[in-house]
Chain A
């Protein structure tokens, strides 16, 4: 499954979950966030994983340490200067077998432990 296609499916899926898409492929000099969405009051940073094999992945495998740190820093950059809101990090794995959505895939200590 190609990246663009997977992201498109993920966006559709998140909308069915009642989430509002705020931004797609938000870029800054440090990199990119696939999807930024709002789930109620919570701001959700979503990492999309396209997979050609049908198995679901564990969150550990889905986003490794480097990727988590990258997402964390990107989120900090995005939140810079914005009012404080609840934040969550999700991972959406798109596979031929279906979509696997991990809410709250990691948090601060998971990033720190790997740093």
Chain B
């Protein structure tokens, strides 16, 4: 008496389908689960047994062997409970076998037979779809999340009894409708509230338009954090594909709210500077879970007080800043998470924060300043596209009515520039920042004048190869904002303004 049904488990941000096989035979009674189960999977047998008994169904006093295939994949979580129960009932003939095929079962069982939601439903649903599976049975709370996948019939069940009635054909369950939820934009700070800081506002706009990494340097209270928090409001909303990608990552991390299964707005992650290495890049016990760099995928990773972060944590950002993905290796498991985020850093020019301030003297000794700056390595800084100084506000600016442009107007320009980029890359890339060497060569066409300016700048700023390419990409974005096909001298000149790490008195 053998039966087999399908289930799945998140693996990185992807998911793998798992065959849950069940063999029931004569012999000394027992229930064994094999196939590299972690503790919570082995505990499934107690939940499955109680759930089946409490429904008034028969739990066989026989030798039961359940196998989770492929056997070399580590199985975590309670998501296999439902599949185990169904395959067991199917093996003992309590559910007709024909009805369980081509269906993925995912859910945790409670002792009274209730089906509970698990994390990573969206990832498993996407894996099911790409494997050509047509149907999925999940907990009621997970249904909206799974139903986001087009072409997949999702049947929500409240408990095992409902699932059994459905599989016996005694009860019709309408498939969950595919609802793309409308989400009102979160309560972002509007750029109109930022006083002064024209230079920084412009830098923010360029960064948003081209997806560039930005570092703001300035004294405390100048408005660095405020500016950063305006950024999501001037970014275009996620496309549906991007929204699914982002939601899948948050689903695997167990951060997706069940009532809003699709994240429509760009994530803004602002981890505190005490964050651990694992918290930043991902990892943890067993199969790695995504860290902040991946949770900020297609969004903004804001690191306030940049030099206060652990050096190891910052150096770990080098790979995702370059490759837009991060590979996490844990005891025998290697997982690559997407991590295409915009890095926005904020820092003071020195430990006391007042270096270069015309009104307040800096109290730091020179070696302290050097020490402070040294926390950011050259290779790390080399990956930043835009450096911008955010000076203290003048009396007039502070007392003024603000009066800057609102986020709405800026977002319109950003979206226009992004539309130009989308046409240019015909869907393969999203932003200028993502260009590889081939695209840079093809799309960053300079006028003769711009070439000459850049040639002088290479010497003056001691640009590295990478710095040179970054300047080109930023100039490309500035040209896009201006609606220009070729990159002119004025675009290069502006890009170069954001190239230098401001030194003492550079304000």
On A, residues with C-beta under 8 Å from B are: 42, 72, 75-76, 79, 84-89, 103-104, 107-109
Find A109's partner among B25, B27, B30, B62 (CB 8 Å cutoff). B30
Report yes or no: B26 in contact with A87, Cβ–Cβ below 8 A: yes
Name the B residues within 8 Å of A75 (CB-CB): 28
Minimum CB–CB distance for B54 against chain A, Å: 15
User: Are B45 and A109 interface neighbours, CB within 8 A?
Assistant: yes
Decide if B27 touches A89 in the complex (CB within 8 Å). Answer: no
**Are A107 and B25 in contact, CB atoms less than 8 angstroms apart?**
no
Per the CB 8 Å criterion, the residue count for chain B at the interface is 12
CA distance A84 to B32 in the complex (A): 18
Contact across chains for B30 and A108 when beta carbons are under 8 A apart: yes
Within the complex, the shortest CB–CB distance from A115 to chain B, in Å, comes to: 13
B483 at the interface (CB under 8 A from A): no
Chain A interface SS verdict (over half) = mixed
B31 at interface by CB-CB < 8 Å: yes
Q: Which residues of A contact B25 (CB under 8 A)?
A: 84
The A-B contact count (CB < 8 A) is 42
> Which residues of chain B (43-64) have a CB below 8 Å from chain A?
45, 61-63
CB distance B28 to A42 under 8 Å?
Answer: no
Nearest B residue to A112 via CB reads: B30
User: What chain A residues lie within 8 Å of B27 (beta carbons)?
Assistant: 79, 84-87
Residue picked from B61, B62, B63, most chain A C-beta under 10 Å: B61
Closest 3 CB pairs of A and B: A108-B30, A107-B29, A84-B26
Q: Indicate if the CB atoms of A42 and B61 lie closer than 8 Å.
A: yes
In the bound complex, do residue B28 and residue A87 qualify as a contact, i.e. CB atoms below 8 Å apart? Answer: yes
**Contact partners of B63 in chain A: CB under 8 A:** 87
Could you tell me if A109 and B31 are in contact, using CB atoms closer than 8 angstroms?
Answer: yes
Interface string of B1-45 (1 = CB under 8 A from A): 000000000000000000000000111111110000000000001
Cα separation A79 to B63 with both chains bound (whole Å): 14
**In the complex, given contacts A87-B61, A107-B28, what are 16 additional A-B residue pairs having Cβ atoms less than 8 angstroms apart?**
A84-B25, A84-B26, A85-B27, A86-B27, A86-B29, A86-B62, A87-B26, A87-B27, A103-B61, A104-B61, A107-B30, A108-B28, A108-B29, A109-B30, A109-B32, A109-B45
